[in-house]
Amino acid sequence: MSHDAHATPPGILQRLIQLLALGVISAVLYFATRAAPGSGGNLGTIASVGFVVLAGTLTSELVGIIKLPHLTGYLLAGIIAGPHVVALIDERSVHDLTAINSLALSLIALEGGAHLKLETLKRGVRSLAWASLFQSVVVLVCMTGIFVALRNYIPFARALGTTALLGTALLWGSLAITRSPSATLGILAETRAEGPVMTSTLSLVMTSDVVVVVLLAVVMVFARPMIDPGATFSFGDLSDLGHDLLGSVALGTTLGLFLAAYVRFVKAQLLLVLLAIGFGMSALVSYIRFDSLLAFMVAGFVVQNLSSQGEAFILAIEETGSIVFIIFFATAGADLDIPLLRQLWPIALALSVTRAAVTWGASHLSGKVAKDLPNVRKWGWAGLVSQAGLALGVASMIERTFPQLGSGFRALAVATVALNEMLGPVLFKLALDRAGETSHAPRPTLTSLDLP
């Protein structure tokens, strides 16, 4: 997803050529869509794929002039080309392109798990435990209180009674602790950062998915009777949660053992195997209602720690996902509801800023208790600001489970996540640069590792 850091920086002429190419491509698609409106169909979707890859790549190069991460370029390309701005890509094409999400998320989870080395986790278990506790409990409690304090500025919350408001605020607090593995892995793929800040952030973000799933289930059990007076408290949901978590871990372990054996004894056509697993296994995990992110993360962890091909496995995922990730993030940008964001941006900005501030505070507190390294205490919070697909999934689940809240809860969540999705990666890359962890070594390839 990024170019060789040792390459000569592009000159002004090359940047102008890139800008001109982006303008020409956009103009061609613009006039094509206006000349034959509504006639896209599958051809329109294919054209959209080509456009987001080219536009995302060129935009990522252009934003690099001001030191922004490539991921921001992909998002910006999607936002500008999406149905709410220039409309080079229509809503149907955006919907069709979201089919690639399952592949992208599976590769993200596999790579995230593969980056978690057992010896590294053992060395940082104290820091990870304290960070998980503070970033979960402190953020949940504080954001619950902030939501209650801002109720008069939140349209759907004004009419709620005190008990229902508290239950809704708890749901918002559980949404606030979600992170973005996709953004974390996107920045890692670009910067190839190595050091305590990246290690601690990656460990926390990837393991936080499990924490989010558990806390969300617990919060929903308690919030249901608070929001719906006719509902009753039940421990059955907690039992179902335990079953799903154990099943996801077991499935992920089995998949990881298979991949470890394949990498060890076969190696050939690993890219095709990853594609098949990304689509096929995602459908299977979804069908049996296990947590796909957790299952794939466990699989990657098993490959890394039960085989000697962890680095080659990561590089194979990066080569497989280079184009996939561009489409994934550009589509996420195109799918942002800009009119909704324009309407709710003041309260969304307030909730986003306060969440970042609480995250910063929790990071400093956990860093002091765990006696983390100075760089981790100073910059560790920056990688925890991003939110993306998991947060939107949680918001959709809450909307379905609590229809009493209407569409207001999810609408506010979408607006807030949009801000965090755009600003979080910029903060994280800045933190890695300031911490001195961004790699300047030549990027290795599968060929250099002698992997067929």
What DSSP designation does 9 have? P
Contact assessment for residue 167 and residue 226, using Cβ atoms and an 8 Å cutoff: yes
| Residue 71 reports pLDDT greater than 80 | no
Report if residue 206 sits inside a domain.
Answer: yes
CB atoms inside a 10 Å sphere around CB 246: 11
Residues 19 and 130 in one domain: no
- For position 227, which CATH number holds? 1.20.1530.20
Statement: residue 165 has pLDDT above 80: yes
Pair 70, 182 in one domain: no
Domain shared by 180 and 292, yes or no: yes
Q: Among 70, 98, 126, which residue terminates a domain?
A: 98
**440 within some domain:** no
Does residue 259 share a domain with residue 221? yes
pLDDT (0 to 100) of residue 3:
41
- In angstroms, the CA 283 to CA 287 distance is 6
The answer to whether 157 and 168 have CB atoms below 8 angstroms apart is yes
Do 204 and 177 sit in the same domain of this protein? yes
Angle between helices 196-227 and 292-306 (to 10 degrees): 150
> DSSP letters of 230-268?
T----SHHHHHHHHHHHHHHHHHHHHHHHHHHHHHHT-T
Residues 115 and 89 in one domain: no
Is 451 inside any structural domain?
no
Handedness of CA 397, 421, 378, 202 (dihedral sign): positive
Q: Which two tokens stand for residue 31?
A: 């006039």
Establish if 49 belongs to a structural domain.
yes
Out of 36, 69, 98, a domain closes at: 98
Residue 116 predicted with pLDDT over 80: no
- Is 442 contained in some domain? no
> Structure tokens of 184?
């974390």
Pairwise pLDDT comparison (314 vs 383), residue with the higher score: 383
449 assigned to some structural domain: no
Give the mean model confidence (pLDDT) for residues 32-58: 69
Residue 426 has pLDDT above 90, yes or no: no
| Res. 74 pLDDT band, cuts 50 70 90 | confident
State pLDDT tens for residues 8-20: 456 677 777 777 8
The answer on 218 and 287 residing in a single domain is yes
Q: What is the tens place of the pLDDT at every residue in 296-313?
A: 888 888 888 887 777 778
Same domain, yes or no: 59 and 176 = no
Cβ atoms of 89 and 52 within 8 Å: the answer is: yes
Last residue of a domain, one of 63, 98, 133: 98
Up-side HSE of residue 27: CA atoms within 13 Å toward CB? 6
| Residues 353 and 265 reside in one and the same domain | yes
Q: State whether 83 and 125 are in the same domain.
A: no
pTM score above 0.75 = no
Asked whether residue 261 carries a pLDDT value surpassing 90, the answer given is no
Residues 86 and 154 in one domain: no
Distance CA 86, CA 105 (A): 28
Answer whether residue 450 is part of any domain. Answer: no
**What tens digit of pLDDT does each residue of 313-366 get?**
887 787 776 777 788 778 877 877 777 777 778 898 999 999 999 999 999 999
Confidence of residue 170 (pLDDT cuts 50, 70, 90): very high
- Full residue range of the structural domain in which residue 320 is found: 103-435
Say which DSSP state 129 is in. H
One domain for residues 75 and 184: no
pLDDT tens digits along 130-157: 999 999 999 999 999 999 999 888 888 8
Output b/e per residue, 104-131; b: 16+ Cβ within 10 A: bbbbbbbbbbbbbeeebeeebeebbebb
In a domain, 446, yes or no: no
Question: How many structural domains compose the chain?
Answer: 2
Per-residue pLDDT at 40 exceeds 60:
no
